[in-house]
Chain A
Amino acid sequence: MSSSSAGGAARLRLLAEAGVLAVVAAGVLLDSRSYPGSLAEGAPGPAFFPRLLAVLLMGCAAWLAIRAARQPPESDAGRSRGNARTGSGAGRGARLGLGATWIAVFLLVWPRLGTVASVPLLVAGLMWLTGERSRLALISVPLAFAAFIYLVFIVALGVPLPSGF
């Protein structure tokens, strides 16, 4: 990646961060219209603090945008080296998506399958995604861990974890 394109990427990243902050702040401002800004006797209402924070976040977004405009083109060269070292961004993004999706799937099926059945699936999937390839480990660790959760949380402590159908 050339210096100028690396600088462009850094500028884009700062602008994206500014955009996220601005959207969050705007959302807070919009939502805060539904509750009172002040109460009787001069006391601030529930909208006061969210609006204050939204204004501050807007200021931060503006400052990030200014930083993006001032971003020198060569300042992100080191970052591009870092990318080269750790692999492609697309590949990492795909693995991140898979990891987050796997956890979300676990949270969805947990109440239906129950803790003892779903926890081994979560553990085995994450082990696979983090690079574990030993079949013995992929089978024994999740099962042993499910037994631990069952004995300690459900039997010994009586925690009402989802039991499934």
Chain B
Amino acid sequence: MNLSWMFGPTMEQRHLLYVYVLVWVVQGGYAAWVGWQWWRSRREDRPE
């Protein structure tokens, strides 16, 4: 899969790249935050 055409200096190429990266960062960031809260709450619930 050759995606080298995405990594260029034009505004079209940059903005297309930004969109795909931004979606992964926002969705991944939120998922990571929820996952971390879940992991933390499990650890707190565990009996000592």
**Co-complex (A, B):** no
Query: Which residues of A pack against B, CB within 8 Å?
Result: none
